[in-house]
Amino acid sequence: MPTLLKDSHAFSGFAVKDLAEAKAFYSETLGLKVTSGSMGVLKLHLAGGNNVLVYPKSNHVPATYTVLNFPVDSVDQAVDTLSAHGVRFEHYDMPTLKTDAKGICRGSGGPVIAWFKDPSGNIFSVLEER
């Protein structure tokens, strides 16, 4: 079995349509540490020493899946706090995925979770790990 990447400190990245708008949202609304990196990218500094690159893409199309998950102690508290800062949570009413009035999914057999979008339409979540 190859071991070449076993010890690599991998990181992820995703695109946005407007870097300045994204930086303001991630730093001011979500409260993340955000720095500008080389080649016109942003670096999101996440807990635990993890980083995510955010890069501009003029013909950006939002991801149709969750690009970043934030484990929290209480989804209810996170939703209330983020909502007070202007974040709007997604609402779903499908046979296998339903959210309540606050946008929180509680009974799907998975974690308690709520989804929201950044200004570019990328999907994020806050979730309680069980």
Encode the chain (130 residues) as per-residue pLDDT tens digits. Answer: 677 888 888 889 999 999 999 999 999 999 999 999 888 899 999 998 889 999 999 999 999 999 999 999 999 999 999 999 999 999 999 988 899 999 999 976 789 999 999 999 999 999 997 6
DSSP H helices, 1-130, are 19-24, 75-84
Q: So what's the pLDDT on residue 23?
A: 96
Q: So what's the pLDDT on residue 108?
A: 64
pTM more than 0.85: yes
Q: So what's the pLDDT on residue 21?
A: 96
Q: CA of 37: how far to CAs of 19, 42, 95, 116, in Å?
A: 12, 5, 43, 25
Q: So what's the pLDDT on residue 24?
A: 97
Strand bridging mode 51-56 / 12-16: parallel
Sign, CA torsion 15/16/20/24: negative
3 state SS of 108:
coil
3 state SS of 4:
coil
Q: So what's the pLDDT on residue 1?
A: 62
Please tell me the distance from the alpha carbon of residue 31 to that of residue 86, in angstroms, as a whole number: 13
Q: So what's the pLDDT on residue 129?
A: 78
Q: So what's the pLDDT on residue 38?
A: 81
